[in-house]
């Protein structure tokens, strides 16, 4: 695999492409769970190629297992502020406010097993944004949710992003290319371990006629000429 891409600060980039194309691998390289055999990774202009995951200015969210099973919703958010889980009154208060901001204050004392999948992901999102990391990597976080709920969750990401003092850069893997519409700024189409194409959401979804992209989207390329 060989990835070459520049994501401008503050951009929301959607990564699409066939299964096995390398989308999760690319996120793992950025997060530091995998080290590249060569090349350079720069974050916010600094070289982070060999940095430990915890040293990187990154927040991550996955399809599941974002929350600690033994902690309540409030504690799962507060732990983003106090990783040693010695929850101060101030951290609990901030977690409560974050829950209220997403309309989940009534769930403060529930554990993940007592929440729906959508509620769990909303709690995880609240924690992610509370930590104010400048770069967010979202690996299919809403894949298990239905279309309407996925739209609600993307709208919540957009709202939290707008509320942030400095909007984070977002790189989001999705198996639903249409989810990028209205939310992401740009799409990167990965194929066979390469960034095959990048472009605006509209260009990639509606105009680009690249045969591999069209095949992935399940659409034949348009026949041109007479």
Ligand X SMILES: Nc1ncnc2c1ncn2[C@@H]1O[C@H](COP(=O)(O)OP(=O)(O)OP(=O)(O)O)[C@@H](O)[C@H]1O
The stretch among 17-25, 42-50, 86-94, 151-159 that binds ligand X (CB under 6 A) is: 17-25
Judge contact between 11 and 171, C-beta under 8 A. no
Q: Give me the least distance between CB of 3 and ligand X, in Å please.
A: 10
Query: Which has the closest alpha carbon to 121: 93, 88, 156, 87?
Result: 156
Q: Per DSSP, which regions of the chain are E strands? A: 12-16, 42-43, 46-47, 58-61, 135-139, 169-173, 186-191, 194-200
Would you say 25 or 49 has its CB closer to ligand X?
25
Judge contact between 150 and 179, C-beta under 8 A. yes
| Site for ligand X contains 21 (CB under 6 A) | yes
| Site for ligand X contains 24 (CB under 6 A) | yes
| Site for ligand X contains 20 (CB under 6 A) | yes
Bridge-based pairing of strands 42-43 and 194-200 is unpaired
- The single residue among 7, 12, 16, 23 that binds ligand X, judged by CB under 6 A, is 23
Q: Hey, is 220 helix, strand or coil?
A: coil
| Site for ligand X contains 36 (CB under 6 A) | no
Q: Give me the least distance between CB of 89 and ligand X, in Å please.
A: 41
Q: How far is CA 65 from CA 62, 68, 207, in A?
A: 7, 7, 37
Would you say 20 or 39 has its CB closer to ligand X?
20
| Site for ligand X contains 19 (CB under 6 A) | yes
- Interactions with ligand X, residue window 146-175 (CB under 6 A): none
Residue by residue, DSSP assigns 15-69 as EE--TTSSHHHHHHHHHTSS--SSS--EETTEE-TT--GGGSSEEEE-SS--S-T
Residue 187, φ and ψ in degrees, nearest 5: -120, 140
Would you say 17 or 141 has its CB closer to ligand X?
17
| Site for ligand X contains 177 (CB under 6 A) | no
Q: Give me the least distance between CB of 199 and ligand X, in Å please.
A: 19
The stretch among 13-21, 110-118, 149-157, 206-214 that binds ligand X (CB under 6 A) is: 13-21
* Binding-site size, ligand X (CB under 6 A): 8
- The single residue among 7, 12, 14, 22 that binds ligand X, judged by CB under 6 A, is 22
Taking the CB of residue 202, how many other CB atoms lie within 10 A of it? 12
Give CA–CA dist 168/126, Å, rounded.
14
Q: Give me the least distance between CB of 74 and ligand X, in Å please.
A: 32
List residues near ligand X by CB under 6 A. 17, 19-25
């Amino acid at each position: 695999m060989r990835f070459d891409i520049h994501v401008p600060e503050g951009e929301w980039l959607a990564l699409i492409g066939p299964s096995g194309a390398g989308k999760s691998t690319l996120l793992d390289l950025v997060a530091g769970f995998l080290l590249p055999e060569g090349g350079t990774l720069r974050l916010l202009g600094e070289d982070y190629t060999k940095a430990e995951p915890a040293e990187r200015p990154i927040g991550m969210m996955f399809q599941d297992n974002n929350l600690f099973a033994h902690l309540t919703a409030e504690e799962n958010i507060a732990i983003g502020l106090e990783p040693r889980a010695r929850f101060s009154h101030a951290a609990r208060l901030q977690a409560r406010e974050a829950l209220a901001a997403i309309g989940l204050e009534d769930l403060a004392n529930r554990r993940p097993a007592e929440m729906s999948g959508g509620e769990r992901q909303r709690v995880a999102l609240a924690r992610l944004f509370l930590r104010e990391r400048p770069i967010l990597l979202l690996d299919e976080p809403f894949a298990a949710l239905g279309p309407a709920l996925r739209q609600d969750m993307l709208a919540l990401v957009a709202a939290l992003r707008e509320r942030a003092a400095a909007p984070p850069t977002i790189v989001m893997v999705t198996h639903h290319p249409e989810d990028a519409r209205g939310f992401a700024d740009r799409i990167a189409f990965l194929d066979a371990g390469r960034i095959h194409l990048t472009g605006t959401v509209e260009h990639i979804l509606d105009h680009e006629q690249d045969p591999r992209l069209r095949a992935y989207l399940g659409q034949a390329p348009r026949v041109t000429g007479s």
